[in-house]
Amino acid sequence: RQFPGCGNIVTFSQFLFIALEGFIFEADFGRKRPAIPIRNYFIMVAMFFTVSVVNNYALNLNIAMPLHMIFRSGSLIASMALGIIILKKRYSVSKYTSIALVSLGIFTCTFMSAKQVASDSSLNQEDGPQAFLWWLLGIAALTFALLMSARMGIFQETLYQKFGKHSKEALFYNHALPLPGFLLLAPNIYQHAVLFNQSELFQVPLIGLTLPIMWFYLLMNVITQYVCIRGVFILTTECTSLTVTLVVTLRKFVSLIFSILYFQNPFTGWHWLGTAFVFVGTLMYTEVWNSLGPFLARSRRPKEE
């Protein structure tokens, strides 16, 4: 909120921290050979880097964080579409119904956010059309990142099927190999580092260390991102896709509610309706109802004397 364009320094810090941790504990200071050929990681990394940067830039294009979260929840739509096109998959009617619900939810939230941008921008007649065009560019960026992320998931799935599942190795290479790419963003990263240095001073609790508050925010972001992304990479290898999807969906929902309440982001009844469509559709897609049915049936049975 204080520096909307700081996405690049945030992403760079996340990548650098995870790469250093992986270089020490997973790659054994470069002595351990990768189980998956390195050329495959370069392809995956190109996709991963592109998705991360484009998603961050979208926040600088009049895209509010709640809309950003909801729009990215459409990963099921993108995955299904590319699965049909690339892997020639076919799905049940319930799957298509759930995708329709998610699409409707995202469209509702996107449309209402478009009205908010247009309304806010109308206060300044000169900037109004320009602000709305930037917003449309942000939506296009989110759409591109969504499709690219789905394509990366399909590519990662085929790699795991061929070479086995190596979550920690994939986590390390996905964050280490893109680091040179941040040289292209060096001026922007340096600019925001200077701005961070100029932010108000903050005393870290317990430690007593005093530093600019934006650097403290960045440190907390890097730590929580590491915990989150490592958990997701481990989940993909240790749990079923149903469990992973449910956990990620719950995380998105909690993040969304927190963002609305704590940061007081504008959220109308239409936004809530769209959000409900997105998450109900997601749960339908995972067929959680089929999993809960037998459990609920057992819980209703009278206890034996």
- The pLDDT of residue 242: 53
Asked if the model's pLDDT at residue 166 lies above 80, the reply is: yes
- The pLDDT of residue 125: 47
- The pLDDT of residue 126: 47
- The pLDDT of residue 123: 47
| Mean pLDDT value across the chain | 80
Measured over the CA atoms of residue 51, residue 171, residue 161 and residue 90, the dihedral's sign is negative
- The pLDDT of residue 107: 75
How far is C-alpha 183 from the chain's CA centre? Answer: 23
What's the pLDDT tens digit per position in 241-286?
556 666 776 677 777 777 777 877 777 888 888 888 888 887 787 7
Using a cut of 0.95, tell me whether the model's pTM lies above it. no
Taking the domains of the chain in order of start, what are their residue ranges? 6-117+129-299
pLDDT-based confidence at residue 181 (cuts at 50, 70, 90) = confident
What's the pLDDT tens digit per position in 188-246?
999 999 999 999 999 888 888 899 999 999 999 999 999 999 988 888 777 655 566 66
Contact 222, 208 (CB under 8 A): no
| Residues β-bridged to residue 210 | 203
Please tell me which of 99-103, 111-115, 287-291, 297-301 the model is most confident about, judged by mean pLDDT: 99-103
What's the pLDDT tens digit per position in 37-56?
999 999 988 888 788 788 87
Could you please report the per-residue DSSP string of 217-280? Answer: HHHHHHHHHHHHHHHHHHHHHHS-HHHHHHHHHHHHHHHHHHHHHHHT----HHHHHHHHHHHH
Asked if the model's pLDDT at residue 2 lies above 90, the reply is: no
Which region, left, alpha or beta, applies to residue 29 given φ > 0 means left and ψ of -120 to 50 means alpha?
left
Q: How far apart are CA 11 and CA 125, in angstroms?
A: 35
What's the pLDDT tens digit per position in 43-89?
988 888 788 788 877 877 777 766 776 776 677 677 777 878 887 77
Residue 181 CB: number of other CB atoms within 10 A?
Answer: 16
Q: How far apart are CA 298 and CA 296, in angstroms?
A: 5
- The pLDDT of residue 64: 72
Q: How far apart are CA 95 and CA 285, in angstroms?
A: 5
Cα–Cα distance list, 135 to 53, 67, 138, 163, 270 (Å): 17, 11, 5, 42, 19
Asked if the model's pLDDT at residue 142 lies above 80, the reply is: yes
Between 248 and 23, name the one with better pLDDT: 23
